Structure 1
């Protein structure tokens, strides 16, 4: 038990000793590509990101999502939901909240250009004058703004693991698009 306790005390010191060298190596690498493994597994959504680092604590990038989930499409067809998102393009600006380059918290603001399918029930009148209801499907596109918080860590000076949670709101087509947009993910990436 004492050995385990001593190991737990020494582990943070060993990580801090390596951090100085990692910060220099990571500062020279300015580009990063990531894949969201959580969205792929849970939502059947392809989510790819690119990030460019500049300055000391700032970075910018974009995220692209494409979705064709059978569960969401079935819920849409059965009437459990009136819209189903199909694509998103999310440019973002990030600020690192921690001083370490190899493990840090960050805050970001993001925009979202998104679109998908929308379904509504409408009332029509036939030639005789009888009213009836039918379902009308259409497409929607919208633009939204939001914010996120996350944590990122690097392994072997290049492999990134990132967890992000963020929410925003669509602004322009709120009668058809989802009210809330989200950025939740567990990303695996490569920095070069």
Structure 2
């Protein structure tokens, strides 16, 4: 009887003390393109790494090759906190930093052949901090649709725009 009681106690204590290891089964990487900027003649590509069910880190690269834009290139790392029911989806807030370069002003003139030319003045490189809001929807096959907007402030250069914007309508894939 004592052996049976001892055996039951050992088995009961081993099963009650066991721990479960949580294994994350969700996909952690996303690659996205900003469809709105593509229509407007610019390119923005974003990579996002999902850290937990409700947070992620990422970075965006933006460039445009037109004379009408103040900012011609930007690199924007960001952190997002999600408030949706699915993993890294739904409403989110983000904090971002941005390194941006561009030309603040240009002078236009007609050259000897009658063509309109320009002289670039006040090139700048600056660093901005800002925040944004948005929402993300995930399809069960991994397709991503996102709408976001944000605003930030350049901190160092007098030649750069004081306020920078961030936003778009992005399409991508989670893998």
Structure having the higher helix fraction is 1
| Cα-Cα RMSD | 2.1
Alpha-carbon distance in 2 for matches of 1:67, 1:60: 24
Alpha-carbon distance in 2 for matches of 1:100, 1:28: 10
Q: How many residues align?
A: 141
What is the TM-score of this pair, normalised by structure 1?
Answer: 0.68
The 3-state SS of whatever aligns with 2:47 is strand
Structure 1, unmatched stretches of 5+, are 1-25, 74-83, 122-134
Q: CA deviation at 1:138?
A: 3.5
In the alignment, which residue of structure 1 is the partner of 2:172? 189
Q: CA deviation at 1:179?
A: 1.1
Q: CA deviation at 1:137?
A: 1.4
Q: 1:102 to 1:90 in 2, by over 3 A?
A: closer
In our comparison, the structure showing a higher alpha carbon Rg is 2
The 3-state SS of whatever aligns with 2:84 is coil
The 3-state SS of whatever aligns with 2:38 is helix
Q: 1:58 to 1:67 in 2, by over 3 A?
A: same
1:149-190 Cα deviation digits (max 9, x unpaired): 0000012331000000110110011x2111111111000001
1:64-111 Cα deviation digits (max 9, x unpaired): 0001235x16xxxxxxxxxx2110000000000223337510000000
* Over 4 Å off, 4+ runs: none
In the alignment, which residue of structure 2 is the partner of 1:137? 121
Do structure 1's residue 100 and structure 2's residue 98 form an aligned pair?
Answer: no
Q: 1:103 to 1:57 in 2, by over 3 A?
A: closer
